């Protein structure tokens, strides 16, 4: 593979793998703003970044089980109503490094920053699919189409040099409320090469793996996408399954991400002075489920206190409130006096009362995905 034409990247990023480029921002940079600046947004790739230099000729084909297959140029997509959706993208591998500590897992290592919150601008997939004759809120087409497959123009070794691909159910693709986008902007700027220029899919509330970058084609199909990343990766297995007894076909492709939170104002081990410290971080849940609560403990999880939560400004966040961004993370903050060495812990609860699991061992899985165990950091107090 040719990695000689990669785009420039911010030097603050921590590189977890160079070719393909996988990198995340430092914890403190991640929570310095509600909307993650593009430079600080994690980058997760499976091959070289494709180059699209003739934007006039770039088009997306829409075919498969549709009445009027079409090729859409950027101007056709820009003609549709534009939506700006604040949505958090999280890699299923976020916090994978910590899952390897008890028992080794396979995959690129990540700290807690394989997540970011951006305002994605683009057309709704539901509007795009209307152009090929599929009405809103369709779950099966007359010809039996039930899934929408997205194929990229990149090349990855897991697909034997073929493109990255994924699919979502047609019911989600045609539901305007699901806010699935074909995005050409990120935080008000033209999408950059790392994040999918000129056009990518954004599937809010779902693991990042389904938000296909550098979109080449869309097809309406009967079966879920049979690609590597849907069938042989990004599936959650129980701790009893290892590489010698795995049967991929027994599990569903992971879609929604579970409730998650992490402390970002402190490293795994931080030296501090006795006195007040700020414990802050992010919390998010999948499927549009808001965050009901974030609990913080300063005694290793024996007693808990509730952190304050906010999105855009200092206005307290209330899940489900019309002024809140339903697909976006919330930041939390809690100030506490710490006089002795201790362990600080965070766990979030979503509006369906789902809670993060206590121990990583209980959710250990061979691919190291969805580590949502209580996030723990150690503080060492120097006098």
**Can you point out the beta strands (E) in 245-290?**
260-263, 269-272, 275-284
Give the nearest distance from C-beta 42 to ligand MTE in angstroms.
Answer: 5
Strand partners, 220: 64, 148
- Count the Cβ atoms, other than its own, within 10 Å of residue 29: 18
- Residue 20 CB, shortest distance to ligand MTE, in Å, is 7
Regarding beta strands 14-17 and 70-73, do their DSSP bridges make them parallel or antiparallel, or are they unpaired? unpaired
Residue of 208, 258, 286, 290 interacting with Mo ion (CB under 5 A): 208
Question: Considering the complex, what minimum distance in angstroms separates the CB of residue 21 from ligand MTE?
Answer: 9
Rounded CA-CA distance 331/328 in Å is: 10
Rounded to an integer, what distance in angstroms lies between the CA atom of residue 74 and that of residue 199? 8
**367 scored as a contact of ligand MTE (CB under 6 A):** no
Residue nearer to ligand MTE on the CB measure, 43 or 326: 43
The span from the CA of 295 to the CA of 308, in Å, is 9
Q: Which ranges in 81-177 belong to alpha helices (H)? A: 96-99, 125-130, 170-173
Binding region for Mo ion (CB under 5 A) out of 200-208, 223-231, 291-299, 372-380: 200-208
With CB atoms as reference, the residue minimizing the distance to Mo ion is: 91
* Least Å from the CB of residue 63 to ligand MTE: 19
Which position among 23, 30, 91, 263 is part of the footprint of ligand MTE (CB under 6 A)? 91
When asked if residue 214 is in the footprint of ligand MTE (CB under 6 A), the reply is yes
Binding part of the chain for Mo ion, among 3-11, 35-43, 54-62, 89-97 by CB under 5 A, reads 89-97
User: In the window 193-212, what residues touch ligand MTE (CB under 6 A)?
Assistant: 195, 208-209, 211-212
Closest to ligand MTE by CB, 210 vs 309, is 210
Q: Residues 6 or more apart from 255 whose CB is under 8 A from it?
A: 168, 206, 207, 210, 286
Smallest distance, ligand MTE to C-beta of residue 46, A: 3
Determine the Cα–Cα distance for residues 307 and 294; give it in Å rounded to an integer: 6
Residue 191 touching ligand MTE (CB under 6 A)? no
Contacted entry of ligand MTE, Mo ion, none for residue 45, CB cut-off 5 to 8 Å set by kind: ligand MTE
Question: Does position 164 bind ligand MTE by CB under 6 A?
Answer: yes
Q: Which does 218 bind (CB under 5 to 8 A by kind): Mo ion, ligand MTE, none?
A: none
Judged by beta carbon distances under 5 to 8 A according to partner kind, the member of ligand MTE, Mo ion, none in contact with residue 214 is ligand MTE
Subset of 36-55 contacting ligand MTE (CB under 6 A): 41-46
Site map for Mo ion, 227-266, x if CB under 5 A? Answer: ----------------------------------------
Q: Which of 116, 114, 85 is nearest to 99 (CA)?
A: 114
Chain mean position to CA 194: 15
126 binds Mo ion (CB under 5 A): no
- Rounded to the nearest 5 percent, the helix, strand and coil shares of the chain are 15, 35, 55
- Per-position DSSP letters for 127-144, written without gaps between them: HHHHTTT--TT-SS-TT-
Measured between alpha carbons, how far is 47 from 158 in angstroms, rounded to an integer?
Answer: 9
Q: Which residues bind ligand MTE (CB under 6 A)?
A: 41-46, 89, 91, 152, 154, 164, 195, 208-209, 211-214
């Amino acid at each position: 593979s040719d990695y000689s034409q990669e785009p420039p990247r911010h030097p603050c990023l921590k590189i977890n793998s160079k070719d393909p480029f996988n990198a995340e921002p430092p914890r403190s940079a991640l929570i310095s703003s509600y909307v993650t600046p593009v430079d600080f947004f994690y980058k997760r790739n499976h091959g070289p970044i494709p180059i699209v230099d003739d934007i006039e000729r770039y088009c997306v084909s829409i075919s498969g089980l549709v009445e009027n297959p079409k090729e859409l140029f950027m101007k056709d997509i820009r003609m549709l109503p534009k939506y700006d959706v604040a949505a958090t993208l999280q890699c299923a591998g976020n916090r994978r490094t910590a899952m390897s500590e008890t028992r080794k897992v396979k995959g690129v290592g990540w700290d807690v920053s394989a997540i970011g919150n951006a305002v994605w601008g683009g057309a709704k997939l539901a509007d795009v699919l209307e152009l090929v004759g599929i009405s809103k809120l369709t779950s099966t087409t007359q010809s039996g189409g039930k899934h929408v497959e997205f194929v990229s123009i990149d090349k990855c070794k897991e697909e034997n040099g073929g493109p990255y691909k994924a699919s979502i159910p047609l019911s989600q693709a045609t539901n305007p409320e699901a806010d699935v986008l074909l995005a050409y902007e990120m935080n008000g700027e033209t999408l950059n090469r790392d994040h999918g220029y000129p056009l990518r899919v954004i599937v809010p509330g779902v693991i990042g793996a389904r938000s296909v970058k550098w979109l080449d084609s869309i097809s309406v199909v009967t079966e879920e996408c049979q690609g590597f990343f849907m069938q042989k990766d990004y599936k959650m297995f129980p701790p009893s399954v290892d590489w010698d007894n795995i049967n991929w076909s027994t599990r569903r492709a992971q879609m929604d991400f579970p409730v998650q939170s992490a402390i970002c104002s402190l490293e795994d081990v931080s030296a501090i002075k006795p006195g007040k410290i700020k414990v802050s971080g992010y919390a998010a849940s999948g499927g549009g489920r808001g965050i009901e609560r974030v609990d913080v403990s300063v005694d290793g999880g024996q007693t808990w206190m509730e952190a304050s939560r906010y999105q855009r400004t200092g206005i307290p966040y209330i899940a489900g409130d019309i002024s809140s961004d339903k697909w976006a993370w919330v930041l939390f903050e809690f100030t506490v006096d710490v006089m002795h060495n201790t362990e600080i812990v965070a766990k979030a609860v979503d509006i369906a009362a789902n809670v993060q699991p206590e121990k990583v061992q209980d959710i250990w899985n061979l691919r190291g995905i969805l580590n949502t165990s209580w996030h723990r950091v150690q503080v060492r107090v120097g006098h």
